[in-house]
Copies of this chain bind each other. A is one copy, B any other.
Amino acid sequence: MTRPQAVIFDVNETLTDMEPLRARFEDVGLPGHLMDTWFASVLRDGFALAAAGGYAEFARIAHDVLRGMSLEDKAIGHVLSGFAELRVHPDVPEGMRKLRESGIRLFTMTNGAAAMTEGILRREGLLDLVEARLDVSGPGVWKPARAAYEYAVGQAGVRPEQAALVAVHPWDIDGAQRAGLVGAYLDRRGTPYPSVLSAPTVSAPDLRALADLWS
Contacts and interface: CB of A to CB of B under 8 A. Distances in A.
A51 B145 contact: yes
B174 A52 contact: yes
| Majority DSSP secondary structure for residues of A touching B | helix
A18 to B, nearest CB: 14
B195 A52 contact: no
Contact of A52 (B64, B145, B194): B145
Interface stretch (A30-38, A122-130, A155-163, A207-215): A30-38
B45 A196 contact: yes
A61 interface: yes
A117 B40 CA distance: 26
Interface residues of A, number: 42
Interface in A40-69: 40-41, 43-45, 47-54, 56, 60-61, 63-65, 67-68
A84 interface: no
